[in-house]
Amino acid sequence: MDLKLKAIYFTLLMMTASLAGCVSQDNYDTAVEEHEDEKAEDAVLIEGLQDNLSMSEANANALQAQLESLNATIGQSEADLIALQSQHAVAEASLAAAEANATNLGQMVTLLENQLAMAYSAMDVINTTMTDMQQYHNETMEEFTEQYNSTMANLSAQISAMSQSMSNLSATLNSTYAAYNSALSEISSLQSQVSSLNSTLAAKNEYIENLELVNNFVSSLADDFDHRFGTDLVNAIDTQTFEVKHQIYLTIHACWFLPITCSDLWSLLEDDLPFNMDSSNDEKESIRYLSREMWNATTAAQSDSDLNDFAPQLVQEVESDFGTWFEGGYYTEDSTKCWRVTYVSGANEGCESVFLAWDSSYETDSQIFEEAEEGFLIGTTAYNTYDAYFCQSDVELTISRLLYTEVTIHIYNFGTTNETIIEPNSNTIGAVYGDNGGGVAYSFGSGSSLDIKNWDDPNGVCA
């Protein structure tokens, strides 16, 4: 039974007892005991839900760390694989060159052996000729002496030249044999290297396949996390855009919607925050940071679905906690500046950071913001008309989720050439910039309109 209904029931019971006098003390005591028992059961149930939510957050943090480690390991493995493939290609090319060289050397050995055989055959012919000439000379000594001497001189020269040629051929043959044996040894070494590289390559491919299986498993867990908490971690993994903004979004989500200490989570990202979270206003400070992140997201080429999903959840949280809706305070990063969370009204506002929404439908309001440097306006109700005037020409505004509402933004010295009106036929996201660094980022659907105008401040309100 709802706590409020229980309280009403208990009050009516007491009133009935006092007015009618027809309820006995025993019945009254029994009702009180039943009410206390139910309260105790509800407390146990709430405590169990809080434990489950804390465990989900711890699992999310562990999942994030595992994802980062896996992405780093996959990146290194792929780099190693590319290096191994390059080495494999070089070894294959070297092997082919060595085999071709060995073939050429073998052909040269055969040619040299043939030339050597021909040289020996020529020597035999010369020796036979010399023998014949000697015999002929003996028989015809006187007649052929001069011819013999000339022939012998020529033959001696030929023998000398042939001996030198044979010596050169022998040296070349020995060198060729050595080169051929070296080539065979190199081929054997390269074949061993190729075999080793093939084994390493196969092992690396198997390792990468295992990493891909693990990555698919982690992605399935991220899909479950997206379903539970409205994030887009699966898309972040697929597009390799898991950045600090996702961590910040998850931390903001935990600060607002989980029963844990927000400041402890902010401390994990303190190096990435523009402010520290040591003050007691840590949840409210996250509104300012959300405004900045929404501005960055809506002005980017693609919207950030994490933050766009978070905006309506934040509104639900604010609307369910009416007592803190009007609270504001100073920046923790600059104690001279203030921020304000409030409903749209006709009163002027002097804080530098404002977070606005409507408390009911069919309202018509006009409001001046003298010091606002950043603002976040979200549609919580429908059928409203609103004019907002900003004195700071560099103000950064984020407008989201307008519901059949007409909003006109007047910015001091915005520039008449920048004036525009947005009336989308469907969901629209974009931004309009002024001449002095300011602008309006928007995200809303059909049925509403946004008119952005230059303001000259004719009454000197901003002076």
68-95 pLDDT per residue, tens: 787 787 778 778 778 877 887 887 787 7
SS3 assignment, position 58: helix
Does 146 score more than 50 pLDDT?
yes
Of 227 and 27, more confident: 27
| Rounded to 5°, angle at Cα 438 from 437 and 443 | 130
Nearest to residue 255, comparing CAs of 265, 246, 245, 247?
265
Position 228 scores a pLDDT of 58
Share of the chain above pLDDT 90, in %: 18
Which pLDDT band holds residue 10 (cuts at 50, 70, 90)? Answer: low
Does 156 or 18 have the greater pLDDT score? 156
CATH 1.10.287.2610 residue spans of the chain:
1-228
| Direct distance between the N- and C-terminal alpha carbons of the chain, in angstroms, rounded to an integer | 57
Tell which phi-psi region holds residue 230, choosing left (phi > 0), alpha (psi between -120 and 50) or beta.
left
Residues 6+ apart with CB under 8 A from 259: 50, 53, 54
Residue 414, amino acid:
F
Q: State the pLDDT at residue 237.
A: 66
Distance CA 134, CA 148 (A): 8
Residue 160 is predicted with a pLDDT of 79
| Structure token pair of residue 412 | 């001091």
Judged against a pLDDT cut of 90, whether residue 383 lies above it is answered with: yes
Q: What is the pLDDT of residue 389?
A: 98
For the cut 70, the answer to whether the pLDDT of residue 304 exceeds it is: no
| Listed ranges 7-16, 230-239, 260-269; the one with the highest mean pLDDT | 230-239
Is pLDDT larger for residue 387 or for residue 291?
Answer: 387
Residue-wise pLDDT for 31-58, tens only, equals 778 888 888 887 888 887 788 777 877 7
Is pLDDT of 111 > 70?
Answer: yes
**How much is the pTM?**
0.48
pLDDT of residue 274: 53
Per-residue buried b or exposed e for 104-127, using 16+ beta carbons within 10 Å of the residue's own CB: ebeeebeebeeebeebeeeeeeee
Residue of higher predicted confidence among 454 and 19: 454
Looking at CATH, the fold of the domain delimited by 1-228 is given as Helix Hairpins (1.10.287)
Residue 460 has pLDDT above 90, yes or no: yes
Are 415 and 438 in contact by the 8 Å Cβ rule? The answer is no
Q: What is the pLDDT of residues 212-259, one digit of tens each?
A: 655 665 566 567 666 655 566 677 666 666 555 666 666 666 666 665
Question: Which pLDDT belongs to residue 70?
Answer: 74
Q: What pLDDT, on the 0 to 100 scale, is given for residue 365?
A: 96
Look at residues 109, 120, 111 and name the one whose alpha carbon lies nearest to residue 173: 109
Q: Between 393 and 222, whose confidence is greater?
A: 393
For residue 12, is pLDDT > 90? no
CA distance 24 to 38: 22
- 172 forms beta bridges with none
Which of these ranges, 64-73, 158-167, 251-260, 406-415, has the smallest mean pLDDT?
A: 251-260
| Average pLDDT of the chain to the nearest whole number | 76
3-state SS record for 233-284: HHHHHHCCCCCHHHHHHHHHHHHHHCCCCHHHHHHCCHHHCCCCCCCCCHHH
Full strand arrangement of the beta sheet holding 439-444: 328-330, 338-343, 353-357, 374-378, 396-400, 439-444, 428-433
**Structure-block tokens of residue 14:** 């007491």
> Looking at the predicted structure, is the pLDDT value of residue 317 above 90?
no
**pLDDT confidence tier of residue 348, bands split at 50, 70 and 90:** very high
pLDDT in tens, 419-456: 999 999 887 888 899 999 899 988 888 999 999 999 99
Residue 311 has pLDDT above 70, yes or no: no
Q: Which residue has the higher pLDDT, 452 or 340?
A: 452
